[in-house]
Amino acid sequence: MTTAGILPHMRDPAQSDVVPLSPPSVWRDSLPYLATLAAFTGFSFLSGGYVMTRAAPIAIAWLIAAAVWVWLVRVRRRPSRLYVGGLAALGVYTLWAGASVLWSFGPDLSWVAFDYAALYLAMGAVLGVTPTGVLQLRLAGFGFLAATVLVSLYAFAGKVLPDMVTHAHTYARLDSPIGYWNVLALLMVMALPPALSLASRRDASLLVRGLAAAAAVPLAFTFVFAFSRGGVIALAVALACYFALTDRRLASLVSLSAVAAPVAVAFWQVRSRETLFTATADDALRTLEGHVLLRWALFALAAAVLLQLAATAVERAVRWPRGVRVAAGTAVLIGLVLGLGGAGVSYVDRQGGTQWLRDRYEAFVGDEDTRSTGDTAGRLLSLNTGRPPLWRYALEQHDAGPRLGTGAGTYRFTFYRFRDTGGVTKHAHNQWLNALSELGVPGLASFAAAMALLLAAALRGLRRGRRDPERALLSALQAGLVAFVVHLTWDWDWDMAAATTAFFLLAAAASSYITHRDAPAPSAGPADPATGAPVRRPRVAVTPARVLASGLLLLTAASWVPPYVGDRAQNRAVEQAARGDLAAAVASARSATRWDPLAADALVTRALLEQQLGENRDALRTLRAAADLQPQNYVVQYQLGLLLERAYGRPEEAAAAFRRALELNPLHESSAYELERLAGGG
């Protein structure tokens, strides 16, 4: 890859909107972006960063590195007021999430939710004050693209090499390494616009543009095999936003076609290979058909590169006047809007018009669509999403109170209380309603303000940047940000550190770049009265702001340690108990409680172990302590009822505990069974 395609062009500030940075600061100012890209990649390959014990080491390492980097940064331009306002609103949301520990149904869950929010706030703040020029913008955009391509290659390998990469054996849908198919699809969507911007880049070499088209191919295959309806919505939003903002509409459309057409041909050729689109236990057939897909995928890859190279050669062979390019790009935008809009209107009209739309809406709200809802390609046509009931539970919890919410990260208690079906769901699958349920109106208001202001900060200055040579890449980042915010309405991306890290990476890069681009060129600074030479500033200024920032980052890192160590000790206790080493398991459970005194799970585990050791009196004290800590936890009440009835022979007290468990989880069959047994005298 040539430097002409990736490294910044050092233009005269008078001839460009871009203010170049001096070489030493260019690389120093790239360090936060490199660290965040590394964190994004790590989170992606560790269950998306959703599992706290897997995400904690990465989060702690990033926060410590940021605390050190604070002493190196040279803040040339303050972040925009919009961005600062967004960070302030996010800070309010984070503090409110932390304060919710005081009234939370699950204080240990709220502690973890606070840690995640504090990490995101730190990322937004550190990247927001980082001077961002052309190199940093390209590093954020193209670095994110490269990391996401790695994710897509691993995910797609589960389809084409199932004999070697076995993660796709259980479902037809792809979800690894993220661990959740909808977030995997979202990341593919967010990475596609940067790929299009690079493939259509006028000053990039033939090799770079061909490689960009090649990078989009695994993104496309992985996106399709995620079978994500929310991903389809996000894709439509991202492409609409990108083509509305970019100055390379015609070239980007050609690049998109160069990728989409071969991929479509490949899917058409394998459409009858059932193991690619449905789950199967036939490993031999899965492998055979996966290898067929691999051959067609390689065809699509080669065809996309060749088509992109041909399009690039034609573009360079013909000198298109600027007016023609602008007119063609405008025509592309209008054609896409009219074409897609007309196709949608025509489809609705053929299906039955407005009555059909009303029927579809009712099927969506009631989850009553009769079409397929399994983990196959057919689910893309179904309106059975399971989400409207989850949204309704969040609203019911808010109406039922408490008004301050149930505490950050505690939607699972809401689900248990109001659900009318089985299963376990830990999020409302709508971040706005989830915030309302868990943190009340203050939580929803501060979160919504943060997202709105951060998005506005990244989208500002559209008119001033019309002649910016990086406009296409900037538009790509902005499109990904809009897609993320839209997808929040549909899923739990906020809890997946990989997705939210990508959001803050792109948001900070876009906003900070616009701030530095639109600011006047920096002056040479004060001069020495005697010699006239510029006065050298100290390399590191020890200021209260640096001390405070570094200290807060280290405190945030420290806040991750207790729940991380406590959860590991809890897991160790379960493993030791499974091996029969009860004494060691009890010691580990006690260690878990010492590290995380807010966790009820460790107390329940300890009580069960104490019962196995015949220490029923200690077990009762432990369970009562757990009930005092988390009175809204039905598991504690259920275990307390079992102990009171079986070890102490107190049926009335046991029945009261089982009734309380059923109040908290009306569909808990075990509590209902025990209560019926006691009522029948069994």
66-70, 119-123, 129-133, 511-515 — most confident range: 119-123
Tokens for 641, please give them.
Answer: 């009822």
- The 3-state DSSP class for residue 100 equals helix
- Could you tell me the pTM of the whole model? 0.90
- Look at residue 10 in the predicted model and tell me its pLDDT: 36
Tokens for 105, please give them.
Answer: 């149904």
- Look at residue 335 in the predicted model and tell me its pLDDT: 75
Confidence of residue 311 (pLDDT cuts 50, 70, 90): very high
150, 227, 359 from 48: Cα distances, Å: 14, 18, 37
- Look at residue 516 in the predicted model and tell me its pLDDT: 87
The values of phi and psi at residue 534, to 5°, are -60, 140
pLDDT tens-digit readout, 581-602: 999 999 999 999 999 999 999 9
Q: Which residue has the higher pLDDT, 351 or 168?
A: 168
Q: How far apart are CA 415 and CA 492, in angstroms?
A: 15
State yes or no: pLDDT of 104 exceeds 70. yes
Tokens for 334, please give them.
Answer: 């209008």
Q: How far apart are CA 96 and CA 420, in angstroms?
A: 31
Q: Which residue has the higher pLDDT, 487 or 327?
A: 487
- Look at residue 526 in the predicted model and tell me its pLDDT: 57
State yes or no: pLDDT of 228 exceeds 70. yes
Confidence of residue 542 (pLDDT cuts 50, 70, 90): low
Tokens for 457, please give them.
Answer: 């900060």
- Look at residue 538 in the predicted model and tell me its pLDDT: 45
SS (H, E, C) 623-676: HHHHHHHCCCCHHHHHHHHHHHHHCCCCHHHHHHHHHHHHHHCCCCHHHHHHHH
- Look at residue 462 in the predicted model and tell me its pLDDT: 78
Cα angle for residues 47, 52, 58 (degrees, 5° grid): 80
Cross-strand bridge partners of residue 534: 527
State yes or no: pLDDT of 16 exceeds 50. no
Cα torsion 52, 58, 59, 64 to 10°: value is 150
Q: How far apart are CA 351 and CA 374, in angstroms?
A: 24
SS (H, E, C) 384-427: CCCHHHHHHHHHHHHHHCCCCCCCCCCHHHHHHHHCCCCCCCCC
- The 3-state DSSP class for residue 527 equals strand
Q: How far apart are CA 605 and CA 582, in angstroms?
A: 11
Judge contact between 607 and 619, C-beta under 8 A: yes
- Look at residue 556 in the predicted model and tell me its pLDDT: 97
Mean pLDDT of 211-223: 97
Chain position carrying tokens 């897509």: 152
Mean pLDDT of the chain: 88
220, 301, 596 from 487: Cα distances, Å: 18, 28, 33
- Look at residue 320 in the predicted model and tell me its pLDDT: 66
State yes or no: pLDDT of 454 exceeds 90. yes
State yes or no: pLDDT of 21 exceeds 50. no
pLDDT tens-digit readout, 604-633: 999 999 999 999 999 999 999 999 999 999
- Look at residue 6 in the predicted model and tell me its pLDDT: 42
pLDDT tens-digit readout, 506-515: 999 999 999 9
- Look at residue 324 in the predicted model and tell me its pLDDT: 67
Domains of the chain: 3-9+30-318+387-518 (no CATH), 564-679 (1.25.40.10)
Q: Which residue has the higher pLDDT, 6 or 615?
A: 615
